[in-house]
Amino acid sequence: MSKSEIPGKVVAICGGVGGAKLALGLYRILTPEQLTVVVNTGDDFEHLGLHVSPDIDTVVYTLADLADRERGWGRANETWAFMAALKALGGEDWFNLGDADLAMHVQRTLRLKAGETLTTITSDLARRLGIAAEILPMSDDPVRTFVETDEGVLGFQRYFVGRRCEPRVERIRFDGAETARPSPRVLAALADPDVRAVVICPSNPFLSVDPILAVPGMRAAIRSTSAPVVAVTPIIGGQAVKGPTAKIMAELDIPVTALAVASHYEGLIDGFVLDDKDAADRAAFPVAVDVVPTLMQSMADREALARSVLAFAGRLEPRT
């Protein structure tokens, strides 16, 4: 199937690394005009006076083929002269910012202060890096993920990077979400009659997708599209491919299963893509299930999963 044979548009809902892999798969099998990626900004934070948007940067770098695949964040061939010099000056060095990566944060911060929206800035910076697909923050309003833990309340990056997800999670909250508005371009993308699928990428449901869904109007906008909404499992055989998803689910007393993820999305999704390792569980799901290999190691894996997700969506009934 060549790119042009896939009809319609796709809206991908995405957090960081795991989600970005599938977003890249979609990007490679669709024309750029067919794809909109809606990205979590709950992980955003002010660091060293700079506005850092980790998930947006992961998606942008991944689609621009600038991402470091080994490290899982930041840019390939990165250098660290800034961090070394910062440490010598007594600066905060718990959060690494690469030399080239810094340009993104400096430029974003400058343009935000000049009054541009995160939507405009993200879209423009992505295009300057050669990405023709639309990458959009979920909102231009600040939403900040905080993790309530047995060590107290931690900002997301303090929990995730500073404390390496070690504290026990008691509750996750999204400060600012209740008054945030979806980015108008996200709403426009979801309202486009050409949308053929909304894909919830295999990101952490609680840390990466929930902040997006917490923005008032976002769920309704997703539900009001006539296209099927399909989620891809971030859990394979009771384990997360990467990151703290399994640990967090256990701490929140949620079974570490794909079924629990599908149940979490119940009412929002029309279909769920399950890994073939978990095929035995398929009958228990509250929605239509497609069973395929979901582990994305090679580029071919990314593209194959993207194709099968869209084919699955194509087999689902249009909504009424």
Contact residues: a copy of itself, CB under 8 A: 48-50, 75, 78-79, 81-86, 88-91, 98-104, 106-107, 109-110, 113, 124-125, 128-129
Q: How far is the CB of 54 from a copy of itself (least distance, A)?
A: 17
Q: How far is the CB of 121 from a copy of itself (least distance, A)?
A: 10
Q: How far is the CB of 136 from a copy of itself (least distance, A)?
A: 18
To which residue do tokens 């296209």 refer?
227
Nearer to a copy of itself, 104 or 288 (CB): 104
Nearer to a copy of itself, 110 or 220 (CB): 110
Nearer to a copy of itself, 1 or 81 (CB): 81
Nearer to a copy of itself, 64 or 165 (CB): 64
Coil/strand/helix, residue 294: coil
State the Cα–Cα distance between residues 42 and 55, nearest whole angstrom: 9
State the Cα–Cα distance between residues 24 and 13, nearest whole angstrom: 12
Q: How far is the CB of 102 from a copy of itself (least distance, A)?
A: 5
In the chain, DSSP assigns E strands to 9-14, 35-39, 45-47, 50-52, 134-137, 144-149, 152-155, 169-175, 195-200, 229-232, 235-236, 239-240, 271-275, 288-292
**Residue from 222, 225, 221, 231 nearest 194 by CA:** 225
Nearer to a copy of itself, 98 or 243 (CB): 98
Token reading at 13:
């809902």
Token reading at 34:
């067919």
Q: How far is the CB of 227 from a copy of itself (least distance, A)?
A: 33
Q: How far is the CB of 185 from a copy of itself (least distance, A)?
A: 20
Nearer to a copy of itself, 83 or 254 (CB): 83
Token reading at 47:
């660091």
**Residue from 143, 102, 105 nearest 121 by CA:** 105
